[in-house]
Amino acid sequence: MSCSFWRMMAGLFAALVFSSAAGAAEPAIIAKARAHLGSEGALDGVKTVHFLGTLATLDPADPQKEVRAKMEIIFQKPDQQRIVATTEKSTEVTALDGYDAWQRLTDGADPTKWRQTLLGGDQIKRLRANTWENLSFYRGLERRGGQIEDQGDANVEGVACRKIAFIHSPTIVFYRFFEAATGRLVHTMTESGGTIREQGEIVVKGIRFPKSIVTETKTAAGKMQTVTIHFEKVMVNETLPSSLFALPPLSAR
């Protein structure tokens, strides 16, 4: 599995949950969507979220072959993220620590063989947006310089929805379709045309998290690729060391 594949996946993990802006201009559906997920106290009290699960997709190089990876995904306020994808061939860690981000690929057969790279400005901005999305439960984006735009009524496969754009920047936008009656998140689209759907639920400390997410994106060759992540465990508000997110020394083995 290539570095570019996992870099693409890191950009999609925002699918897991949430965002928006507080204040008088907040669309009414936001309060309903938050209430669907949990109480105000439970949502506002989240400091860290830690997911364990399995990723499954078809190998872009061989559509007859399924690729599976063990996944560990951590988000911690204010701006820390760590994603570990492990297959038989390799372990890839992508991490954000404030305004720094890095990626480290280690050979599965020989841990002394590894490659480490620093991520660029655009990638850091997306990781910061993803981290905030997964910890803020649809509220507070304007305080980070973003914007929320109510784009009116929409119909998603027969479900009456309200379409809300969460605009982190002109190149980082999440369009979320909330069921008008309940506030349930039905569907998400990204600015690049990717789609994200949540399925099932795991309830932890009074908060609903998805049991699985299914993403569809276009590959560089123009073909659609479907990736499914099944979550086996979700942990909230663990005490996690900052060293998990810090750039490892290049001499580390």
Q: What is the pLDDT of residues 158-181, one digit of tens each?
A: 999 999 999 999 999 999 999 999
pLDDT in tens, 119-160: 999 999 999 999 999 999 999 999 999 999 999 999 999 999
Q: Where do the structural domains in the chain lie, given as residue ranges?
A: 3-237
Q: Write down the mean pLDDT value for the chain.
A: 89
Q: CA angle at residue 204 from 185 to 233, to 5 degrees?
A: 95
CATH number (2.50.20.10, 2.60.40.10, 3.20.20.70, 2.60.120.620) of 3-237 reads 2.50.20.10
Q: What is this structure's pTM?
A: 0.86
pLDDT tens string 74-84: 999 999 999 99
Contact 21/34 with Cβ under 8 angstroms? no
